Structure 1
Amino acid sequence: MKSKKLQGHMAVMTANIIFGFGVPVTALLLKEWVSPMVYMLTRCVGAAAIFWLISLFLPSEHVERRDLVVICCGGLLGFVISQTLAAWALVFTSPVYFSIIASLTPVATMLMAALFIGERINFTRSIAVILATAGALLMIFTHWHGGTGRHDLLGISFGMLSLITWAFYLLITRQVSARYSAVTQMKWIFLASSIAVLPIAWGELDTQKLYSAAWQWDGVAEMAFIVVFATVAGYVAIPFAMRYIRATSVSIYTNLQPIVASVVAILIHQDILTWDKPVALILVLLSAWLVTRTER
């Protein structure tokens, strides 16, 4: 069992490193190639096709109707709604600020676990909430009158809503994740997501640069990275990890994302290093460490 737990930790760690790279790559795609909804449609359809193809070579799993509803509804919440909000957040704010907001996921998961499944919040966890809130407010007030993005306050708000829906997804699917393989879950999640997004994004498809005569290989490569790695590989790793470790523990690894995303974004000149970024990051990471300590 210890080896399975280790595999779970390694899987979720790898997924969040990939997600960290995916933040600046997504920002590039949204800036040059696609709208947020066409970006989501490409991810959904591409991932659905890959997962259903993989499932043909694996043993078939029967999914109970009740569990299928949870899987599909959880996927709509944790992927379609959460990732659409994330895409809009990256339209308005920088990858660094979005990634720091994503680091609040362990705290959001803890609060929602207390609200919906009755987990107790002790003194240490209360301090963690205060520190995380302070880090978020620092970014908001520092850039109230404008920052590195088009509208940082609006982008940060979308980012907060994105992480809340992701935390809720972790909680409502934690039991179902233990009963079915990651591929079985993901093929249904992305099929449902494709059906939900297609009517909304279809009208925009022929106006997107990536799907016109002006397409270039760098745009295709960026989109392929998002579909294959930041969607298929990442979303296989999360339910696999949840079979062996707790939802709060899974959410803690989100703190790898701002470190990876911030370094990459600054290196490729998507953002600049200002004093509030490392201070906010330290406060948020410290809050996550306190949550981790209580988890242990």
Structure 2
Amino acid sequence: MPAYIQPFGFIFYRVLGALMLFGMIASFYRQKIAKKDVLLLAVCGFFGVGLNQLSFFYGLNLTSPINAGIIMVSNPIMVLLASAIILKTRITYLKIAGLILGISGALIILLFKKGFSFGSNTIVGDSFILLNSASYAVYLVLVKPLMSKYKPITVITWVFGFGFLFVMPFGFNEIGEIDWSSFTPDIWWKFGFVIVATTFLTYLFNIYGLQRLNPSVVSTYIYLQPLIAALYAILLGKDSFTWIKLIAAILIFAGVYLVSKNPSRKFEKQRDS
């Protein structure tokens, strides 16, 4: 991207592909949605898929992956604040401490890489990545109440259905410009991987996680992404193990543990109070 496919055209097929997979599974359940919840599902589709995907890929096209990774570290903070404002959840010292540890560990890994540079040449892209982080935070908080009323697969299918309606006008023109014959086997593999693994499975696991955990806990697992990427690079021989990475891993796992220490039942009591 954009050598083979433009950002919005890629989003069009990414959302459509995931929607088809969700729809296939949801067809076995056929759960009805109350009319009063349709608007909330549409809003979730806008923040969780439409604005989220459009802002991320547009921003990524104008900045570096390292910059994007650093900015995305802010997502759990935004989720915690959104939960406090929308769901009236209490911000505890444990959660704050966990966020600080998690942020520290993720930043240690990201900042020790080469290729990040915040400046006037990346400010537009960086701003859209920040918008992406904020929109996903709002989505995680807004979709949580629906978890107690419907099956996760039902919710995510509706969310992606509305999400596709939001991204379709932006990607419709770009899909006609795709030269499918130029796709190499490697590009096809990456194309499918993004649809199945980083979209379908990621959103599916997240929505099932939200059924049992509060949004701030689910969002904190984003700190594992740079750690997993580093471990994968080490296994492939493209990176080396260092004490810095070990310290970062300890900080990340400690942070996730502290944020998830409060059980989901307590979260439910706080929400209902």
Q: Could you say which TM-score interval applies, normalised by the shorter chain?
A: 0.7 to 0.9
CA distance in 2, matches of 1:90, 1:263: 23
Answer whether contact 2:106 2:226 (CA < 8 A) is retained: no
Which residue of the partner structure matches residue 86 of structure 1? 56
Q: What residue number does 1:200 align with?
A: 170
2:186 corresponds to which letter in structure 1?
A: D
| Letter matched to residue 33 of structure 1 | Y
Give the stretch that moved more between structures: 96-105 or 198-207. 96-105
> Is contact 1:71-1:188 (8 Å) kept?
yes
Please name the residue that 1:3 is paired with. none
1:93 and 1:149 in contact (8 A); partners too: no
Give the match's secondary structure for 2:162: helix
Query: Residue type of the partner of 1:114?
Result: A
Q: Which residue of 2 aligns with 1:47?
A: 18
Which residue pairs with 2:182 in the alignment? 214
Q: Which residue of 1 aligns with 2:47?
A: 77
Conservation of the 8 A alpha-carbon contact between 1:183 and 1:236: yes
Aligned-pair CA distance for 1:128: 6.7
Distance 1:295 1:51, change over 3 A: closer
2:159 matches 1:159: no
Do structure 1's residue 105 and structure 2's residue 87 form an aligned pair?
A: no
- Correspondence for 1:169: 139
Instruction: Within 5 Å, give how 1:1-296 maps onto structure 2.
Output: 30-56=1-27, 58-122=28-92, 147=117, 151-208=121-178, 211-261=179-229, 291-292=259-260
Q: Distance in 2 between matches of 1:204 and 1:295?
A: 45
| C-alpha distance in 2 between matches for 1:96 and 1:128 | 23
| Cα distance in structure 1, aligned partners of 2:249 and 2:64 | 14
AA partner of residue 203 (structure 1): N
Quote the residue 2:267 is aligned against. Answer: none
1:22-53 CA distance string (max 9 Å, x none): xxxxxxxx243222111110111111222222
Q: In structure 1, what is the Cα distance between the partners aligned to 2:56 and 2:104?
A: 21
1:135 is displaced (CA, Å) by 9.5
Describe the SS at the equivalent of 2:181.
coil
Q: Secondary structure at the match of 2:212?
A: coil
Deviation at 1:133, TM superposition (A): 8.6
Residue 11 of structure 1: aligned partner: none
The residue type equivalent to 1:252 in the other structure is: T
* CA distance in structure 2 between the aligned counterparts of 1:87 and 1:267, rounded to whole angstroms: 28
User: TM-score, structure 2 length as denominator?
Assistant: 0.75
Separation (CA, whole Å) in 2 of partners of 1:33 and 1:267: 29
TM-score by length of 1: 0.70
User: For residues 175 and 235 of structure 2, what CA distance do their matches in structure 1 show?
Assistant: 31
- Which region of structure 1 is more displaced relative to structure 2, 282-291 or 196-205? 282-291
Matched letter for residue 233 of structure 1: L
2:71 touches 2:129 (CA, 8 Å); kept in 1? Answer: yes
For the aligned residue pairs, the C-alpha RMSD in angstroms reads 4.0
Q: Which runs of 5+ in 1 are unaligned?
A: 1-29, 272-276
| Cα distance in 1 for residues equivalent to 2:87 and 2:155 | 23
- The gaps in structure 2 that reach 5 residues or longer are 240-244, 265-273
Structure scoring higher RCO (CA < 8 A, sep ≥ 6) equals: 1
* Structure 2 CA distance for partners of 1:253 and 1:128, relative to 1, 3 Å: closer
Gap change, CA 1:292 and 1:182, over 3 Å in 2 = closer
Measured in 2, the distance between the counterparts of 1:227 and 1:241 equals 20
